[in-house]
Chains A and B, each alone.
Chain A
């Protein structure tokens, strides 16, 4: 199971706590992880990635293992520590005013 930490607004939408666990079939990548996350919590479809283009939204970033993975290929394998559950995959909403 892969651990995913969601920003507050998405936790509210999905009615979940700080961290959720998601099972990914095949090689875990950003794409397969987000596909699995959206399958389990359909309300998140379109909130992290554009629902049509499937591109990461501009004010959303992906962090894990103290690295910014936002610009990695969506099909690149996730770090082993994320795959084993030792480290969570963070979905981050940009800090901004207003």
Chain B
């Protein structure tokens, strides 16, 4: 493998960071789409040059950009995300019915086998699919049409579908997560969906172990074990070993079990990473110390990783889509902050260095390991 390409979405544009296998010296390219919010940039697993970016503003709406040369040039493709049928209502913050309104694309998940096929998770929560390279989008309406859809409520960031994970062993099985509805799974390619939230407990909803209504912040899976998923919930780190049928808490000795990002080591399915964040509402690291926590036991036992990270006066956040791992022989771990730093570790988290310090607030980080 020749190197890595880090795809960064920010509040004011996208950036492409590249390095060789050492991951010490970096080229910084961008901003692309300067002035626009870029919630996510992601690359096709089967064509490293095929990238997709979600570009939006409150002024001019949503665009999807596509690159066929690894992010050097971009072309706007489709921007029509039309809910199927009469959209109906969900609950608003105050509990009253509110019409489903498309706001933006939070997450883009390219197919594991076809560079022209891609899923998009949107706000208000829904999932769309394109099979023509992003030119046209069709809703997988069975999700939004689930019996519980009318009861879903937004989290503080909006009612977003922010996580999409396709089972590498079964492309018809897809997991999604919605703030604040919870986890849903389809086993038939997106036609029907079922909540998979048994075991979650959320003290801020009337029925703390309800079927839906949980503020799931992020899911992560190791591709070799598609029945094992890890979750950063609003509070609690959770784990399932049966594809979401039941969840158990593995927060263990973390200083706080609140946070947004979670990811899994590329070669060690029981090694996971989180960034504990203080809440409610502060949303910065406890004690002003930016610490990644690593568990090598699939949760419960956590160690702080601090070498190279600021350990005083640090009050940034790490958002849910802003952590990623590469698959170099020695796994690289990356995360971006709302202060505009992108940190990289070329040794699985043992030590860290900033790739770049002064970008706009980072919304998302993805990594491509280049052939």
Contact = CB atoms under 8 A, between A and B. Distances in A.
Contact of B61 (A7, A50, A94, A96): A50
Interface residues of B, number: 13
Contacts of B79: 45-47, 51
B35 A51 contact: no
Nearest to B55: A13
A52 interface: yes
A60 B61 CA distance: 11
* For the complex of A and B, 10 pairs with smallest distance between CB atoms: A47-B60, A59-B59, A46-B79, A93-B59, A43-B76, A51-B80, A52-B82, A46-B61, A47-B61, A59-B58
Q: Secondary structure at chain A's binding surface: helix, strand, loop or mixed? A: loop
Given A51-B79, A52-B82, A13 B63 contact: yes
Interface in B47-92: 57-63, 76, 79-80, 82
A40 interface: no
B36 A9 contact: yes
7 contacts: A7-B59, A43-B76, A45-B79, A46-B80, A47-B60, A48-B60, A93-B60
Contacts of A52: 80, 82
A69 interface: no
A57 B80 contact: no
Interface of A: 7, 9-10, 13, 43, 45-48, 50-52, 57-60, 93-94, 96
Nearest to B60: A47
Given A51-B82, A52-B82, A13 B59 contact: no
Contacts of B82: 51-52
Contacts of B59: 7, 9, 57, 59-60, 93-94, 96
Contacts of B80: 45-46, 51-52
A96 B61 CA distance: 15
A37 to B, nearest CB: 14
A8 to B, nearest CB: 8
Nearest to A10: B60
Contacts of A45: 79-80
A26 B62 CA distance: 31
B295 to A, nearest CB: 37
B61 to A, nearest CB: 5
